[in-house]
């Protein structure tokens, strides 16, 4: 629940967020757009030219209509009907058409040039992120929830592209249109223009006020939605309990109440968001009415021509649209810059130390002697997670690591595989400091089965062959048989070609675990690591697997982390860990005889 609250708080903040350093972020975005910048330049020039044409047209139409009206009146005075010919207004009409077509060309240019800009830039940043994810140290993933990193590449970049796609040029177009239209209107008639300006100012003010309110309500909506989401997730995950205890009614009532509150808040939020434009339109119409009546009087008095009259109202129309646009886009722009800032923050995260330029080479056949020599490790120096750990695993030995949760068992493995870098001391493989090796070379020597059975979206065969892409179907099946999962796979309709999806519940945790064991078996590594590998299977199946594992563990160094001590009593070396250091070391008999922590643990499990 605490997590959820935090998440909601963040979502809400997202809405209201302003970038810490908008200018810097904008500059970085600009730098990232290398090779695409010409699009922005061309589009901006085209947009400005378009607005210019667009602003000229009403002015020219005033001239045109006045001319036509003069000619019509002249014709009427002669008692003849009037028809447009090339000499009788036709030429001016063609010029008018020309201006419009010019506007169209510029408009199309900016529109088409920008159509792919945002997504191209996004693709570039997304690729940066995927490369970055490969270089981030494991401690980053320990400290950040997957959802956060995912939303950098999806939601945040979507926000950026949305604004770049529409917003950026919209701001330019709106601003130039507004200013240009006002200038022209003032030149037409100061009184009318002043009245209109008052209404524009009122509209701007109204938009700001409503936009502020909207953000508050949107935040509230996010909060209620978060609560409902939590409620539903909880109810679905615990639905067996809900049903077993006959709590259906109570649960439904609770969801109904939350859904009702969400309905109220979201109706308000949606209304506020959408009501801005009709409200602004109302103000514009009011100004139209007042200006219309005044201008009508001027028309009667001959102080205004009919062409100017209608042109003025075209400007009213042109200038009032950007008002709403402007203030909404400014909010969006800020949100997008804040989102881009988060993306850059991810891209700036500290990376793993690069591999040495001339890495040491491991022999063709690795024997698998692993030595920890006074290894120290900690995220921060004042809170060491591991202090002075030393031991030697001889080739072919089975090393068991036991201890409470948080004792440092997994940390030990992470250091061994260089997911973490040691802060002091060193770890050697066959006598070579692992830091002198290329990570890929080092890790190739390990086969790993972890507590959370990670499988990717793909077929079962692909998952088993993950570590060895050239494996034949026979190899895959042999590995599956060895891991006691062949029978199960065969009962599935598509057998080894069954596609595993993340949402699918057709395969149990225990079976997933067996598949990862088959995967490790197929890889045939020099060293095996089993981190609580059999925690999700029952004791008898565990024993089958253990025996199968033992077969391939022959002549291989192996590290086993296990809760159930029954699986590790035969280990050559048992390391008992507590608070980041090894408190006892020896084999089962020695440690039992010693009567220390191990003996205590063992007794508590088999009392």
Partner 1 sequence: MKKNKAGEKGVERDYSKSQSARLLLRLLSPYKGMCVVTLLMLLCDIVGTLYVPTELSALINAAISTKGSPEILSHGLRMLAASVIGSGGCIISFYLASRLAANIGRDMRVAVYRKSLELSGFDFGQFGTGSMITRTLSDANVVQQTFLMTFIMLAPVPIICVVSVVLAFGVDYQMGWLLLSISVVMSLIMVAAVRKSAPIFLIMQGFVDRMNTRLREHITGVRVIRAFGKEEDARRGLDQTFEDYARNAIRVNMVFATADCATFFLMNLVEVLVIWLGADRVGAHAMQIGSISALVEYAMIIMFFMMMGQFAILQLPRAMACLTRATEVLEAVPSVADPEEPKAIGTGAATRGDVVASFDHVGFRYADADEETLHDVDFRVRRGEVTAVIGNTGSGKSTIAKLLLRFHDVTSGSLSFMGADVRGVRRADLRARIGYVPQKAWLFSGTVASNLRDGDDSADEERLWHALDVAQGGFVRDLPEGLAAPVAQGGSNFSGGQRQRLAIARALVRKADLYVFDDSFSALDFKTDALLRHALKDELADAAVVIIAQRVSTIRDAAQIVVLDEGRVVGLGTHDELMRICPTYQAIARSQERGGVEDGR
Contacting partner 1 within 434-453 (CB under 8 A) = 439-440, 443-444, 446, 448, 450, 452
Q: Which listed range, 7-15, 246-254, 378-386, 475-483, lies at the site for partner 1 (CB under 8 A)?
A: 246-254
Summarize the chain as % helix, strand, coil (round to 5): 65, 10, 25
Q: How far is the CB of 531 from partner 1 (least distance, A)?
A: 9
User: Nearest to residue 586, comparing CAs of 604, 568, 603?
Assistant: 568
Which parts of 498-587 fold into alpha helices (H)? 509-523, 539-553
Which residues ranging from 111 to 140 are in contact with partner 1 (CB under 8 A)? Answer: 111-112, 114-116, 118-120, 122-123, 126-127, 130-131, 133-134, 138
Tell me: does residue 68 bind partner 1 (CB under 8 A).
yes
Residue 350, Cβ neighbours under 10 Å: how many?
A: 10
Tell me: does residue 420 bind partner 1 (CB under 8 A).
no
User: Is the distance from CB of 369 to CB of 430 less than 8 angstroms?
Assistant: yes
Q: How far is the CB of 478 from partner 1 (least distance, A)?
A: 19
User: Is the distance from CB of 44 to CB of 37 less than 8 angstroms?
Assistant: no
Which residues ranging from 511 to 530 are in contact with partner 1 (CB under 8 A)? Answer: 523
Which residues ranging from 562 to 581 are in contact with partner 1 (CB under 8 A)? Answer: 566-567, 569-570
Tell me: does residue 289 bind partner 1 (CB under 8 A).
yes
Which residues ranging from 472 to 511 are in contact with partner 1 (CB under 8 A)? Answer: 488, 491, 502-505, 508, 510
Tell me: does residue 282 bind partner 1 (CB under 8 A).
yes
Q: CA 46, 52, 57 angle in degrees (round to 5)?
A: 125
Using the Cα atoms of residue 137, residue 381, residue 369 and residue 576 in order, give the sign of their dihedral. negative
Tell me: does residue 539 bind partner 1 (CB under 8 A).
yes
Q: Which listed range, 259-267, 367-375, 552-560, 575-583, lies at the site for partner 1 (CB under 8 A)?
A: 259-267
Residue 522, Cβ neighbours under 10 Å: how many?
A: 22
Q: Which listed range, 256-264, 343-351, 375-383, 573-581, lies at the site for partner 1 (CB under 8 A)?
A: 256-264
* Local structure of residue 596 (DSSP, 8 states): S
Q: Smaller CB distance to partner 1: residue 19 or 455?
A: 455
Q: How far is the CB of 127 from partner 1 (least distance, A)?
A: 5
Q: Which listed range, 8-16, 189-197, 271-279, 379-387, lies at the site for partner 1 (CB under 8 A)?
A: 271-279
Q: CA 491, 494, 495 angle in degrees (round to 5)?
A: 50
> Using the rule CB under 8 A, which residue among 466, 496, 559, 598 binds partner 1?
466
Three-state SS at 33: coil
Site string for partner 1, 329-368 (x = CB under 8 A): ----------------------------------------
Three-state SS at 294: helix
User: Nearest to residue 228, comparing CAs of 485, 24, 8?
Assistant: 8
> Using the rule CB under 8 A, which residue among 45, 209, 252, 551 binds partner 1?
252
Using the Cα atoms of residue 255, residue 258, residue 260 and residue 262 in order, give the sign of their dihedral. negative
Residue 404, Cβ neighbours under 10 Å: how many?
A: 12
Buried b (16+ CB within 10 A) or exposed e, 4-26: eeebbeebbebbebebeebeebb
User: Nearest to residue 465, comparing CAs of 522, 416, 418, 426?
Assistant: 522
Tell me: does residue 1 bind partner 1 (CB under 8 A).
yes
Tell me: does residue 598 bind partner 1 (CB under 8 A).
no
Tell me: does residue 327 bind partner 1 (CB under 8 A).
no
Q: Smaller CB distance to partner 1: residue 19 or 64?
A: 64
> Using the rule CB under 8 A, which residue among 86, 263, 353, 551 binds partner 1?
263
Tell me: does residue 241 bind partner 1 (CB under 8 A).
yes
Q: How far is the CB of 552 from partner 1 (least distance, A)?
A: 16
- Residues that bind partner 1 (rule: CB under 8 A) add up to a total of 150
Tell me: does residue 390 bind partner 1 (CB under 8 A).
no
Tell me: does residue 49 bind partner 1 (CB under 8 A).
no
Q: CA 549, 555, 558 angle in degrees (round to 5)?
A: 55
């Amino acid at each position: 629940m605490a997590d959820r609250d935090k998440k909601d708080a963040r979502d809400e903040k997202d809405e209201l967020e302003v970038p810490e350093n908008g200018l810097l972020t904008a500059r970085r975005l600009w730098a990232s757009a290398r090779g695409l910048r010409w699009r922005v330049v061309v589009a901006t020039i085209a947009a400005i030219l378009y607005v210019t044409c667009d602003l000229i047209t009403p002015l020219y139409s005033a001239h045109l209509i006045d001319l036509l009206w003069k000619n019509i009146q002249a014709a009427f005075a002669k008692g003849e009907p009037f028809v447009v010919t090339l000499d009788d207004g036709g030429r001016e009409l063609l010029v008018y058409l020309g201006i419009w077509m010019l506007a169209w060309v510029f408009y199309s240019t900016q529109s088409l040039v920008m159509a792919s800009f945002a997504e191209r830039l996004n693709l570039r940043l997304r690729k940066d992120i995927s490369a970055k994810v490969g270089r981030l140290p494991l401690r980053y993933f320990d400290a950040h929830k997957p959802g956060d990193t995912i939303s950098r590449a999806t939601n945040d970049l979507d926000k950026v592209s949305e604004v770049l796609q529409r917003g950026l040029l919209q701001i330019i177009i709106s601003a130039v249109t507004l200013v240009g239209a006002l200038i022209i209107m003032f030149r037409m008639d100061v009184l009318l223009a002043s009245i209109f300006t008052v209404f524009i100012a009122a509209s701007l003010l109204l938009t700001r006020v409503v936009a502020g309110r909207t953000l508050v309500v949107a935040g509230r909506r996010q909060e209620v939605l978060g609560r409902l989401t939590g409620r539903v997730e909880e109810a679905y995950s615990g639905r067996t309990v809900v049903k077993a205890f006959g709590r259906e009614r109570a649960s439904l009532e609770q969801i109904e109440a939350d859904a009702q509150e969400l309905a109220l808040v979201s109706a308000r939020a949606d209304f506020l968001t959408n009501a801005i434009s009709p409200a602004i339109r109302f103000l514009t119409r009011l100004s139209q009415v007042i200006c219309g009546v005044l201008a009508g009087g001027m028309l009667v008095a001959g102080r205004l021509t009919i062409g100017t009259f209608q042109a003025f109202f075209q400007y009213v129309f042109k200038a009032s649209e950007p008002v709403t646009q402007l203030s909404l886009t400014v909010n969006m722009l800020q949100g997008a810059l804040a989102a881009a800032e988060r993306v850059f923050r991810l891209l700036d995260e500290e990376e793993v130390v690069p591999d040495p330029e001339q890495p040491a080479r491991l022999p063709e056949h690795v024997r698998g002697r692993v030595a920890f020599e006074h290894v120290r490790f900690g995220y921060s120096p004042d809170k060491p997670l591991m202090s002075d750990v030393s031991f030697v695993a001889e080739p072919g030995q089975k090393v068991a690591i036991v201890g409470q949760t948080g004792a440092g068992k997994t940390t030990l493995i992470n250091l061994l595989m260089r997911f973490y870098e040691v802060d002091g001391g060193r770890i050697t493989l066959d006598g070579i400091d692992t830091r002198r090796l290329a990570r890929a070379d080092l890790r190739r020597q390990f086969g790993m089965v972890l507590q959370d059975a990670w499988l990717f979206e793909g077929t079962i065969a692909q998952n088993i062959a993950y570590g060895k892409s050239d494996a034949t179907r026979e190899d895959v099946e042999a590995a599956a048989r060895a891991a006691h999962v062949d029978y199960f796979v065969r009962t599935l309709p598509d057998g080894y070609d069954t596609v595993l999806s993340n949402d699918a519940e057709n395969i149990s945790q225990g079976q997933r675990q067996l598949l990862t064991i088959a995967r490790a078996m197929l890889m045939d590594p020099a060293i095996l690591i089993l981190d609580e590998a059999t925690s999700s299977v029952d004791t008898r199946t565990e024993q089958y697997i253990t025996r199968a594992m033992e077969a391939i563990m022959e002549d291989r160094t192996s590290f086993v982390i296990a809760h159930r001590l029954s699986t590790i009593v035969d280990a050559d070396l048992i390391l008992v860990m507590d608070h980041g250091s090894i408190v006892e070391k020896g084999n089962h008999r020695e440690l039992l005889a010693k009567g220390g922590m191990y003996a205590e643990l063992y007794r508590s499990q088999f009392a």
